Chains A and B, each alone.
Chain A
Amino acid sequence: SAVISQKPSRDICQRGTSLTIQCQVDSQVTMMFWYRQQPGQSLTLIATANQGSEATYESGFVIDKFPISRPNLTFSTLTVSNMSPEDSSIYLCSVMTVNTGELFFGEGSRLTVL
C-alpha cells in the first residue's frame, strides 16, 4: 500500500479564516479522494481530486467552499474556506489502487473551528 502523508495533523482555526491541507503520496496513484469525518460520524466523500483539472464534487460540496488542487500524481491540497464551527471535522486524504479498488487513508487532519 502507498504511504500517505498529510499536514497539518491538527489545527485550531478562527471562524472566517481558511486552511489548506496538504496530501503527499510516496508513489504515483491514479485516484485520490478527500473525505470528511465529523465527530461521531462515518466518512463522507467530498470530492475526487483529478490531476490537472477541476475536482469532481459530491452532492452537498462545492468548489468555492472546498477548493482542491492536484498538480501531479503524488500531491493534492484541500482548502476549507471561510470556516465556521460546523466545519470542525477530520479531513482525510485517500488513494485508491485501481486494479483492486482498495482505498487507503492518510492519518487525517483534525480541524477545530472556534
Chain B
Amino acid sequence: QKEVEQNSGPLSVPEGAIASLNCTYSDRGSQSFFWYRQYSGKSPELIMFIYSNGDKEDGRFTAQLNKASQYVSLLIRDSQPSDSATYLCAVSRGGADGLTFGKGTHLIIQP
C-alpha cells in the first residue's frame, strides 16, 4: 500500500516569513516527487518536482528530498497572501505509474 502523509493543518504563517511544508512516503521504490498547489474550487497546479536527494530551488520555492528518510519538503520564502492554498505532495515510481497524492496541507498566510 503506497501512502503519502502530510499534516493537514491549517498551517498559519505571517506574511514575509518562510513556510515549511512536510511530507513522508511509504514506498521506497518512489523515484519522482511533486508538489502541487490547489486553490479552493480549482484543480491542482504543479509547482515543483524533484528526483534527486538534496535541494532544488525555483524562485521563492525550494523542494528538499531525503530518500533515506523518505521525506520531502517544500519551503516558500517571503510568503505572500496569494500563497494561501492547499499544498499536495505526490510521489511516483516513475515510468507509466500514476501519482499517489497526500491529503494536502492547508496553508494560510496572514497579512
Contact = CB atoms under 8 A, between A and B. Distances in A.
Interface stretch (A11-19, A21-29, A39-47, A67-75): A39-47
A36 to B, nearest CB: 11
A35 B38 CA distance: 15
A102 to B, nearest CB: 6
Nearest to A6: B43
A100 B49 contact: yes
A46 to B, nearest CB: 9
Contacts, number: 50
Q: Is the interface of A mostly helix, strand, loop or mixed?
A: strand
Interface residues of A, number: 24
A63 interface: no
A45 B49 contact: no
A102 B34 contact: yes
B43 A31 contact: no
Interface residues of B, number: 21
B99 A103 contact: yes
B96 A103 contact: no
A31 to B, nearest CB: 6
Contacts of B32: 101
Interface string A40-71: 01111100100000000010000000000000
Contacts of B49: 100-102
Nearest to A90: B43
A29 to B, nearest CB: 12
Interface of B: 32, 34, 42-46, 49, 88, 90, 92, 94-96, 98-104
Which 3 residue pairs across A and B have the least CB separation, nearest first? A105-B43, A42-B103, A43-B101
